[in-house]
Amino acid sequence: MRVLGVDPGLTRCGLGVVDGLPGRKVQMVAVGVAQSAPTADIDQRLLLIAGQIDEWLEEHAPDALAVERVFAQHNVSTVMGTAQVAGIAMLAAARRRIPVAMHTPSEVKAAVTGNGRAEKVQVQTMVARLLSLDALPKPADAADALALAICHLWRPAGAVGAPQRAPGSMTAAQRAWAAAEQASRRR
């Protein structure tokens, strides 16, 4: 299974693609950061980030998208930008019928380090170990995106890749169509 992890941010949006299965070794496919200039207008910043996310979805054809759940902060403008980028990522995945899952920062930290309150450097170190990387993934946004993908892959077997919608909400024809679309993205 291939998962694209997205650590949403308006200036830097971490993107990390990981292959693996529950309880199995994970392998990094790609890691990077989508960026926009803080001086640009918000609509143009969102358009730029959306374009980069679209490119990653097309290039890597993930089976699922894992996004960090936005949490309340004191800085409202930061929360707004983060939420807007998270929404863009989820919309891009939904348009491609890619299942979306959201994970809290503490859930991700616990999955990767065993400690839901781990520091950034601990997350980076464990991500590097789990993916057999020679160096810590930087910036932290990129490491967080990889950690999100790993967290999603390591969820209980029945939950991995499950869409966040009611079971059976797709008809047999819709399921077949979605399977065919996914197979064509792999080619």
Residue 144 counted as an annotated binding residue: no
Is 107 annotated as ligand-binding?
A: no
The residues carrying an active-site annotation are 7, 68, 141
Q: Mean of the pLDDT values across residues 19-44?
A: 94
Q: pLDDT tens-digit profile of 141-152?
A: 999 999 999 999
In this prediction the pTM is 0.82
| pLDDT for 167 beyond 50 | no
Per-residue confidence (pLDDT) for residue 71, from 0 to 100 = 72
Residue 164's pLDDT is: 41
Q: Annotation-wise, does 141 bind a ligand? A: yes
Q: Secondary structure of the chain in the HEC alphabet? A: CEEEEEECCCCEEEEEEEECCCCCCCEEEEEEEEECCCCCCHHHHHHHHHHHHHHHHHHHCCCEEEEECCCCCCCHHHHHHHHHHHHHHHHHHHHCCCCEEEECHHHHHHHHHCCCCCCHHHHHHHHHHHCCCCCCCCCHHHHHHHHHHHHHHCCCCCCCCCCCCCCCCCCHHHHHHHHHHHHHHHC
In the chain the domains, ranked by start, together with CATH numbers, are 2-186 (3.30.420.10)
Rounded mean pLDDT of the chain?
Answer: 86
